[in-house]
Amino acid sequence: MRIAYVISAYKNPTHLSRLVHRLHTGSETTFVVHVDRKTNTSVYEAMRDGLGNLGGITFLPRHACHWGGFGHVQASLKGIREVQRGWDPDYVILLSGQDYPIKPNAYVRDFLERGDGRSFFLHFALPTDSWTGGGLIRFRRWHWRYRRLHIWLPLRRTLPAGLRPWGGSAYWILSRSALRTIAEFVEANPSYVRFFRHVDIPDELFFQTILLNSPEAERCVDFRLHHTEWSRSPAPAILTKEDYSQLVTSPCLFARKFDQTVDGEVLDLVDEKLLR
């Protein structure tokens, strides 16, 4: 079972190093890391230095990622191309630089082996009561995001190729065949990529819409990859040792967000009790 991790990071070099070292299992794993171009050069160099003693690590060319903009999708596409070109894994797992596993590596590997080529991510058809305007306003209007600025125009747009829109989580586990489906679709439909450059929070629609409109749909499992805490602001909240009991009982494979400068003890508890 060969697993590739695509990680989007922008801060906390110590945590990024801890995350990758924890997931690294030698020749069975490879890592592709994108660091936001807005991240200070000294922080970026610290990230590279923290992983310099490991093999199988690739840092992607950097571009700016603004919350709610296309940057996260662009980083994910770069990661997909990189792992397909150099490694062709059985599965690719997309994470952020503030994630951490709450299940041992052996558990994750066994989970994927039982998955038998299926992909795992939250997904649902639009419109949905969970999103403002059913989620349709995200792509039916022109959107631009830059840092904290959000501009949108009330000019109606329509998804290319008559696709039905799907939403879900920005993070996923994708099989080799799902990755191939995405790569082939993006190559054949550049207008789809251009369209999504002006979709709001596109990382929650881009990959879901491709896969759920393809033959891969029957092999996509609605699955929550991350345990997150939404009851505290700003959400999702930084997890602390007070959240540890929920991590113990969570069915998720990973959790976010962690920040060792806020509470490193919770990570020590996870290492000692959940990941031994």
Among residues of the chain, what percentage have pLDDT more than 70?
100
Count of C-beta atoms within a 10 Å radius of residue 114: 8
Average pLDDT over residues 191-203: 97
Angle at 83 between CA 94 and CA 13, to 5 degrees: 55
Per-residue confidence (pLDDT) for residue 48, from 0 to 100 = 97
Whether 186 is in a domain gets the answer yes
- What average pLDDT does range 222-243 have in this prediction? 94
Model confidence pLDDT, tens digit, residues 20-44: 999 999 999 999 999 999 999 999 9
Q: What is the pLDDT, as a whole number, of residue 276?
A: 83
| Summary mean pLDDT of the chain | 96
Torsion over CA: 255, 258, 260, 262 (sign) = negative
pLDDT interval class at 108 (50, 70, 90): very high
Percent helix, percent strand, percent coil in the chain, to nearest 5: 40, 20, 40
For residue 144, the enclosing domain spans 116-169+177-223
Decide: 231 and 237 in contact? Cβ < 8 Å. yes
pTM for this model (two decimals) = 0.96
Asked if residue 191 belongs to a domain, the reply is yes
Give domain status of residue 192, yes or no.
yes
Residue 110 banded pLDDT, cuts 50, 70, 90: very high
What was the pLDDT predicted at 53?
87
Q: Do the domain assignments include residue 259?
A: no
Q: In this structure, how many other beta carbons lie within 10 angstroms of the beta carbon of residue 261?
A: 10
Count of structural domains, the chain: 1
SS3 for 96? strand
Give the strand pairing for 173-175 and 166-168: unpaired
Helix (H/G/I), strand (E/B), else coil: 228:
coil
| pLDDT of amino acid 238 | 96
- Asked if residue 80 is part of any domain, the answer here is no
Residue 86: what pLDDT? 76
d(CA 40, CA 214): 40
Residue 242 lies in a domain: no
Q: For position 241, what pLDDT does the model report?
A: 96
Q: Is the confidence at residue 229, as pLDDT, over 90? A: yes
| pLDDT for position 8 | 98
pLDDT of residue 196: 98
| pLDDT grade for 161, boundaries at 50, 70 and 90 | confident
Q: Is the pLDDT of residue 214 over 90?
A: yes
Whether 82 is covered by a domain: the verdict is: no
Residue 244 lies in a domain: no
* 39-97 confidence digits (pLDDT tens): 999 999 999 999 988 999 999 999 999 999 999 999 999 999 999 987 889 999 999 99
Q: Of 77, 119, 116, 105, whose CA–CA distance to 223 is shortest?
A: 119
Cα–Cα distance, 133 to 150 (Å, whole number): 17
Q: What is the pLDDT of residue 123?
A: 98
Is residue 194 pLDDT above 90, yes or no?
yes
pLDDT at position 209 is: 98
Asked if residue 268 has pLDDT above 80, the reply is yes
135-145 pLDDT, tens per residue? 999 999 999 99
